[in-house]
Structure 1
Amino acid sequence: MRHLARAAGGAAVLLALSTTRAQEPAPAAVTASPAAGGEPLGPGFRERLRLALGPLEIAPIALIALQAAPFVGDDALSQAGDSAEQPGFRLRRVRAGLHGDVAGLVRFAISTDLAGGDEATARIHEAWGGVTALPALEIYAGARTVPFSRSAMTGAGEGALTERPLAVRAIAPFTQVGIQAEGHFQDRAFSYYAGVYNAFQRSDQFYTGHAESLAPLGNRFEGIAVAGRLATEPRGPIGRTIQDVARSPFRVAAGADGFFSNGGARTLYGASADVLVHAAGLHALGEVLWTGASPRSVPTQPIAQVTSVTSLAVVLEAGYMIVARQLGVSGRVEWIDPSVAVEDEGDNLVLTGGVSYHAYDDLVKAQLDYTHREELGGLSLANDTLVLQLQLSL
């Protein structure tokens, strides 16, 4: 264990790069040079890191996220959502791609996960294009994040802790193929999202979550899904990160959403609501998530589920930036009930606390988290984890 801890410390020279920032490309900037008198990697450098080719402007998406786990409980299991099963290293995310803008009329993004899944095979993370001439009606098509849950829609590398809430990873459908419309009014004082997608597929194991299907064979076994979200940021845009890294004035954002998936194996449905507050370095996040799954009498694919299941989860998180854009602490509590009709060890109380260090306007970030899972029914498991994550993101 001592040798592993030393190895994790030495790994600090490695960087990890994880983002889904292309979900909302920033307004076009036309130069890759630093602002006059500013630092090359000071606040806003990403908006300057764009290449202009006539009306076309493109910017990189890049990712490497390395995790080191010096302590892992004997009962930890990746299928149950734990970050590691044994002490060691994990290349959590490796992503590369481009996003761009054409004369403010069209946006697009394509990125690839180079080490996705258990087999660490390359796969498309997102691939979409959209007509954005009218802020009140933007139309996107392709593989894109479904508008469900603030934590799911926030970039993977932009959270206060190393991972999104376990409840969100289990319930949210994340990236799916379809067509989506959205609109924003009065500097995001009101926003709406609505989309139609191939039907969602989820695992028989609740904590494994949904498959992010990119439909290489089209809609072969499934039906159609719909999703929608309403959101507000009444005091102005709250920013891209869960943490209030800049120690900004008071901002609040709230949203509510839902989905219905008429799949060939299961009918899936869900709803969530969230509130995020930023104030002088403090952030506070609350989410409630509800979902249900009903098996088909004659499923198009083999499944183990034989009866309808309803799940419920509550997420509460808070943190404070001790030093603006540099040092922060955060804590999270999750109550998760995978089946409200059954009391067993699947019912979890998850407590996570961590510290984060940021450099070069979040280009580099190091996070150290400890997670304790308490089974509320049945056998108590030894599945606590200590994880160091080193990240570099564009």
Structure 2
Amino acid sequence: MRHLAGVAGGAAVLLALSAPRAQEPEPAADEPAGATPADAQGGAVESTGEPASAPEAAARPEAPERPRPPRERPARAAAAAVSPAPAAPGAARDEPLGPGFRERMRLALGPLEVAPIALIALQAAPYVGDDALSQAGDSAEQPGFRLRRVRAGLYGDVAGLVRFAISTELAGGDEGTARIHEAWGGVTAMPALEVYAGARTVPFSRSAMAGAGDGSLTERPLAVRAIAPFTQVGIQAEGHFQDRAFSYHAGVYNAFQRSDQFYTGHSESLAPLGNRFEGIAVAGRIATEPQGPLGRTIQDVAHSPFRIGAGADGFFSNGGARTLYGASADVLLHASGLHALGEVLWTGASPKSVPTQPIAQVTSVTSLALVLEAGYMIVARKLGVSGRVEWIDPNVDVEDEGDNLVLTGGVSYHAVDDLVKAQLDYTHREELGGLSLSNDALILQLQLSL
């Protein structure tokens, strides 16, 4: 018998008509994701993927002004990056941890400015279904505790001309071994053409590019964790125009590798032996935030003016074992504490006739997923609620228990602005074909994100 304990996640679909660009967010309302390496903090895949995010995620530097210290993965936060908002007058003196505190946490050494990257996320699982399995994307397999993310690193800016970041995941993998999460450097003298090289988040999916510590719920959508490539090694170019009214991203990487198990997602390879078994991958994204930057976080933590952003992206990977390809599109809206997010993701995988590495896949597989999320900050920068609905079909040609409807609802409490927060989520997974499994979970997460 299957135990069902459900929580209904809600989603809102909002449309915006053309309107004048809103005023810039109030200080630190949504701190820029762009100025930081997107998943210097976030998780995943972390990512990838979080990415990274990614933390799955620091992100990408903002052009016009000097970036803020990176929070999550480099490229992930790129989708939501904005120029650092100036701190409110007297905030540094009267409120050391008030809005804009991250912009003040910099050490200047001549033309060099450095800032810390830190992310600690501890999860407790009071309830987990008997059929939960980490390889299927579940957050836990048994009730207990999990050190979900421990990241530390450094972000640097040299006179606004060169930026770099390096961070380490100190609790990666089942063995808890340390590994590089991101390591990149870039020339950023021209906002219209910034070039980065190293291990950085692939520009694919808004949720993947947002920092792992910047989501409204404890984890990125399951569909995104399964499909997005997150952090990979390569060279990226990006440009931002008219305060992010238009942005583009393009990159070339070592070919991506993914697991035979769909929900395990892609490997975040840092290529210590170079491009030994794989080929080359390319990825690109275009995005717009016509009424002004949306900021770093998925939630509208500061009750900002109406803003909407949209993006579309894709990748193609000619690997030695598989040919992988994917595309996604997303819309995110912020308005007076409300946020609404919609994403559609499509991906395909075709095995090579003579693979360079052993794989179980013997035929081409196409996957499709839809994500709808909505939430509201009841108290600005303090208390919020969110709900998410995901429809996931790992193989559109087969109906089995891999086809999932995932409902997640949760509440977040920001103890110290966005530095320290607690999140409580309940996730219900309903198998749409085949055997129904008992894999619901209640997760409490305590997080410090810098």
| Same fold per superposition (TM over 0.5) | yes
Normalized per residue, the structure richer in strand is 1
- CA separation of 1:364 and 1:353: change in aligned 2, threshold 3 A: same
- CA separation of 1:145 and 1:83: change in aligned 2, threshold 3 A: same
User: SS in structure 2 opposite 1:37?
Assistant: helix
Runs of 4+ aligned structure 1 residues displaced above 2 Å come to 1-38
- Following the alignment from structure 1 to structure 2, what is the Cα–Cα distance between the partners of residues 276 and 7? 23
- CA separation of 1:12 and 1:286: change in aligned 2, threshold 3 A: closer
Shift, 1:359, TM fit: 2.5
User: SS in structure 1 opposite 2:5?
Assistant: helix
User: SS in structure 2 opposite 1:297?
Assistant: coil
Would the aligned equivalents of 1:325 and 1:361 in 2 still touch at CA under 8 Å? yes
- Following the alignment from structure 2 to structure 1, what is the Cα–Cα distance between the partners of residues 447 and 17? 5
Shift, 1:24, TM fit: 17
When normalised by structure 2's length, the TM-score is 0.81
1:296-341 Cα deviation digits (max 9, x unpaired): 0000000000000000000000000000000000000000000000
Shift, 1:118, TM fit: 1.2
User: SS in structure 2 opposite 1:47?
Assistant: helix
User: SS in structure 2 opposite 1:187?
Assistant: coil
- CA root-mean-square deviation: 7.2
1:153-180 Cα deviation digits (max 9, x unpaired): 0000000000000000000000000000
Would the aligned equivalents of 1:79 and 1:208 in 2 still touch at CA under 8 Å? yes
- CA separation of 1:132 and 1:291: change in aligned 2, threshold 3 A: same
1:261-311 Cα deviation digits (max 9, x unpaired): 000000000000000000000000000000000000000000000000000
- Following the alignment from structure 2 to structure 1, what is the Cα–Cα distance between the partners of residues 134 and 448? 24
- CA separation of 1:303 and 1:21: change in aligned 2, threshold 3 A: farther
| Residue in 1 that maps onto 2:159 | 103
Bigger mean CA offset, 154-163 vs 14-23: 14-23
- CA separation of 1:25 and 1:48: change in aligned 2, threshold 3 A: farther
- Following the alignment from structure 2 to structure 1, what is the Cα–Cα distance between the partners of residues 433 and 6? 37
- Following the alignment from structure 1 to structure 2, what is the Cα–Cα distance between the partners of residues 218 and 60? 29
Shift, 1:38, TM fit: 3.4
Would the aligned equivalents of 1:20 and 1:157 in 2 still touch at CA under 8 Å? no
- Following the alignment from structure 2 to structure 1, what is the Cα–Cα distance between the partners of residues 5 and 421? 19
When normalised by structure 1's length, the TM-score is 0.92
Residue correspondences, number:
394
Would the aligned equivalents of 1:331 and 1:354 in 2 still touch at CA under 8 Å? yes
- CA separation of 1:67 and 1:20: change in aligned 2, threshold 3 A: farther
**Structure 2 unmatched runs, 5+:** 28-79
Percent identity over the alignment? 90
Would the aligned equivalents of 2:7 and 2:428 in 1 still touch at CA under 8 Å? no
Would the aligned equivalents of 1:275 and 1:285 in 2 still touch at CA under 8 Å? yes
Are residues 1:61 and 2:103 paired?
Answer: no
Shift, 1:14, TM fit: 38
Would the aligned equivalents of 2:256 and 2:317 in 1 still touch at CA under 8 Å? yes
Would the aligned equivalents of 1:17 and 1:65 in 2 still touch at CA under 8 Å? no
| Residue in 2 that maps onto 1:151 | 207
- Following the alignment from structure 1 to structure 2, what is the Cα–Cα distance between the partners of residues 14 and 67? 33
Would the aligned equivalents of 1:358 and 1:365 in 2 still touch at CA under 8 Å? yes
Shift, 1:257, TM fit: 0.0
**Structure 1 unmatched runs, 5+:** none
- Following the alignment from structure 2 to structure 1, what is the Cα–Cα distance between the partners of residues 17 and 166? 16
Shift, 1:19, TM fit: 33
Shift, 1:119, TM fit: 1.4
Counterparts in 2 of 1:240-251, with a 5 A limit?
240-251=296-307
Would the aligned equivalents of 1:25 and 1:100 in 2 still touch at CA under 8 Å? no
- CA separation of 1:8 and 1:18: change in aligned 2, threshold 3 A: farther
1:230-263 Cα deviation digits (max 9, x unpaired): 0000000000000000010001010000000000
| Residue in 1 that maps onto 2:268 | 212
2:394 to 338, 357, 361: 338
Would the aligned equivalents of 1:233 and 1:253 in 2 still touch at CA under 8 Å? yes
- Following the alignment from structure 2 to structure 1, what is the Cα–Cα distance between the partners of residues 296 and 317? 28
- CA separation of 1:381 and 1:21: change in aligned 2, threshold 3 A: farther
Shift, 1:361, TM fit: 1.9
Shift, 1:3, TM fit: 21
- Following the alignment from structure 2 to structure 1, what is the Cα–Cα distance between the partners of residues 317 and 273? 19
- CA separation of 1:223 and 1:3: change in aligned 2, threshold 3 A: closer
Would the aligned equivalents of 1:145 and 1:174 in 2 still touch at CA under 8 Å? yes
- Following the alignment from structure 2 to structure 1, what is the Cα–Cα distance between the partners of residues 222 and 10? 29
Would the aligned equivalents of 2:205 and 2:329 in 1 still touch at CA under 8 Å? yes
Higher RCO (CA < 8 A, seq sep 6+): 2
- CA separation of 1:57 and 1:111: change in aligned 2, threshold 3 A: same
- CA separation of 1:71 and 1:13: change in aligned 2, threshold 3 A: farther
Shift, 1:187, TM fit: 0.2
Are residues 1:319 and 2:380 paired?
Answer: no
Would the aligned equivalents of 2:25 and 2:304 in 1 still touch at CA under 8 Å? no
Shift, 1:23, TM fit: 24
Are residues 1:365 and 2:421 paired?
Answer: yes
1:260 to 316, 319, 335: 316
- CA separation of 1:334 and 1:33: change in aligned 2, threshold 3 A: closer
Would the aligned equivalents of 2:410 and 2:425 in 1 still touch at CA under 8 Å? yes
- Following the alignment from structure 1 to structure 2, what is the Cα–Cα distance between the partners of residues 164 and 379? 25
Would the aligned equivalents of 1:17 and 1:392 in 2 still touch at CA under 8 Å? no
Bigger mean CA offset, 8-17 vs 24-33: 8-17
Would the aligned equivalents of 1:17 and 1:62 in 2 still touch at CA under 8 Å? no
Would the aligned equivalents of 2:337 and 2:376 in 1 still touch at CA under 8 Å? yes
1:84-140 Cα deviation digits (max 9, x unpaired): 000000000000000010000000000000010111110000000000000000000
| Residue in 1 that maps onto 2:72 | none
- CA separation of 1:30 and 1:20: change in aligned 2, threshold 3 A: closer
| Residue in 2 that maps onto 1:123 | 179
Would the aligned equivalents of 2:88 and 2:100 in 1 still touch at CA under 8 Å? no
- Following the alignment from structure 1 to structure 2, what is the Cα–Cα distance between the partners of residues 13 and 230? 21
Would the aligned equivalents of 1:345 and 1:377 in 2 still touch at CA under 8 Å? yes
1:304 to 360, 373, 380: 360
